[in-house]
Amino acid sequence: MGKAKKKKLRADLELHLTMTELIHLRDLMSVLLPPDGSMTISKSLAEIEDRELQEGRLYEKIYSLCSENGIPAGETAPDYYLNFSVKPSFHVLPLNFKEEVEEEDIEEDLDGSELDDEEEEKKEKLK
């Protein structure tokens, strides 16, 4: 059997934007990630999806279009930073446990404190 045909993508697509849409797209490309703001969400996604080249080209197109239309771009454009707006809530959850883990067999004194071996022996002798 022959190889499955790969779907050919059109080389160029046309997209019409309003000024406000272009500004929004520019702003989306500039949202910085914590902890130090050294990477944008767009660049991070491009890295994960192996599309760094395409992300760079898209940024260049947006930058050029902004510059041609008097919209601040690059260093003159505002940057945005992803940050927590409320205190995060944390939960401890098991990770990839296939079998239930048995709890350790710990003998406890009546007051709930743990007994070591020596204390246990002393307690037995007093009985």
pTM: 0.59
Angle at 7 between CA 2 and CA 58, to 5 degrees: 145
* pLDDT, tens digit (0-9, with 9 covering 90-100), for 79-125: 899 888 888 788 887 777 656 555 555 555 555 555 566 666 766 66
Provide the strand spans (E) within 42-92. Answer: 80-81
* pLDDT, tens digit (0-9, with 9 covering 90-100), for 38-68: 999 999 999 999 999 999 999 999 999 999 9
C-alpha to C-alpha distance for 103 and 125, rounded to whole angstroms: 28
